[in-house]
Chain A
Amino acid sequence: MASTPQTLWGLFLKILGLAAAIGVLILVVILVSLVISQNATLPKVRRRGTPVHVLVVLGSGGHTAEMFAILENRFDFSVYTYRTYVVSSGDDLSAQKAVDFEDTIAQRNKIEEPADNYTVVTIPRARRVHQSYLTAPFSTLHCFWVCLLVLLGRHPDQRPLPSQYPSVYPDIIISNGPAVAVCMIFAAKFIRFFIFCFRWVSGQASKPEISRLRTVYVESWARVRTLSTSGRILLPIADKFLVQWQPLAGHRAWWGMKRTEYCGWVVL
């Protein structure tokens, strides 16, 4: 009878050891996938003139203003032929700005039916202002889940893409923060991980394929010498990390990872 507590204790230790081992294994898998993902060279198989679907995450307020300045001045819409705008619930201003922006683009390029070239999708917030930190992990998971749905083209706000788009996945995901951007970029990398595993298992890994769900993060113009919190989180995750000030160029998450790129004042 005296041995029962000891056996229980032993069992507990074993479970703990097993859990720790699984944890370490998962961590190693994540780290290795991040290193592989950031250093992969893309096969040059996308033909010029084929339509490109870009997903733009609008972060509200100053983030939204910066994003539209970038889109207006530095994006060629004859290349990025379809746009999906993602706004947080309650941020009607950003949603309206997206519609206004598309109207201006359509007028400039004399397009009859601008609504065929874009969608605006509303997703729940990762953390509302003043929300408790206790419930925040759950709302973040919810946000992540909805981001997955958007990337898979299964969000109720989305209509089927025009037939010239062979994939439901956006080709490029561009954002400049804050929390929603982190969620969306995580979701994109999550899907890419499974695509990668599937291709590897089914023996197609060496077959060149058009790369989609590429993630681009543009650090805010207001960030001069230090990265923002979203920026620091996304440093090992985003495929391309653009900064608008020289002192922030060349940062990387750790040895062997991709460096941040200076791109000038793209918001001006």
Chain B
Amino acid sequence: MAVKLCFVTVGATASFEKLVQAVLHESFLAELEKHKFTRLLIQYGKGGQHIFDAYRAEYESGSIDHGVEIGGFELRPNMTPYLRMVQDDPANFQELGMVISHAGTGSILDALRAGVPLVVVPNPDLADNHQQELADELAGQGYAIIGSLDDIPGTVGQAVKQGKQAPFFRRGHGDRSTVPLTDELSWVD
């Protein structure tokens, strides 16, 4: 059976426990199951370990029941392999999944490079205005969906609906021209 992955990343710099909690909540998992996701992988970052472990203990006790396979890790230097696992790749038995990311530049760029549906969740505990501006602008141009912590389950349907017709599949990979510096070098005509 093909794998359909939801990859969650909170980045390396700050902890984002509220997002880790939100994606381990039963309402979110039910939504993933409804949209035929088979796996949930969480890069839970600093301070996320205890939430993940608590969830796993509860799951192993048999009190929770759903069909999504869940994995997690604190941090790894290169996220590209995980973003590739989200891509639509029938040869590797992969269906197009989705990425839920904090509003950090590195993670957003990685997801845009992979060309996968992206939900950006700004961290309300970080007073960082330009990350919010970046998220707003990306959402305005259709590159990403803004998720708020009160309604993470709602983003699953939106990401699936945008899916392949979302603009990140059409734009962003076309123009590959070099940085315009020829006038600074001032070549002989």
Q: Which residues of A contact B (CB under 8 A)?
A: 42-48, 52, 62, 65-66, 69-70, 73-76, 79, 171-172, 174, 210-211, 214, 216, 218, 220-226, 239-240, 242, 245, 247, 261, 263-268
Q: How many Å lie between the Cα of A42 and that of B187 in the bound state?
A: 9
Contact with A along B170-187 (1 / 0, CB 8 A): 001101111111011111
- The answer to whether B134 touches A222 (Cβ under 8 A) is yes
Of A65, A222, A267, most B-chain CB atoms within 10 Å: A222
Query: Closest residue to A215 on the B side, CB-wise?
Result: B184
Q: Does B131 have its Cβ within 8 Å of any Cβ on chain A?
A: yes
Q: Does B27 have its Cβ within 8 Å of any Cβ on chain A?
A: no
Q: Does B158 have its Cβ within 8 Å of any Cβ on chain A?
A: no
> Can you list 17 residue pairs at the A/B interface with Cβ under 8 Å?
A42-B186, A44-B186, A44-B189, A45-B188, A46-B185, A47-B187, A47-B188, A48-B188, A52-B185, A65-B106, A172-B181, A174-B179, A211-B186, A222-B131, A224-B136, A263-B179, A267-B109
Q: How many Å lie between the Cα of A48 and that of B105 in the bound state?
A: 37
Contact with A along B96-126 (1 / 0, CB 8 A): 0000000001100100110000000000000
**Which chain B residues border A226 with CB–CB below 8 Å?**
130, 133
**Which chain A residues border B189 with CB–CB below 8 Å?**
44
Total A-B contacts with CB atoms under 8 angstroms apart: 88
**Which chain A residues border B151 with CB–CB below 8 Å?**
none
Interface size class of B (residues with CB under 8 A): 20 to 34
Q: How many Å lie between the Cα of A265 and that of B184 in the bound state?
A: 20
Q: Does B58 have its Cβ within 8 Å of any Cβ on chain A?
A: no
- The answer to whether B188 touches A265 (Cβ under 8 A) is no
Q: How many Å lie between the Cα of A44 and that of B176 in the bound state?
A: 26
**Which chain A residues border B137 with CB–CB below 8 Å?**
224-225, 245, 247
Query: Closest residue to B113 on the A side, CB-wise?
Result: A268
- The answer to whether A62 touches B106 (Cβ under 8 A) is yes
- The answer to whether A268 touches B179 (Cβ under 8 A) is no
**Which chain A residues border B187 with CB–CB below 8 Å?**
44, 46-48
**Which chain A residues border B172 with CB–CB below 8 Å?**
265, 268
Instruction: Say how far B182's CB is from chain A's closest CB, in angstroms.
Output: 9
- The answer to whether A224 touches B185 (Cβ under 8 A) is no
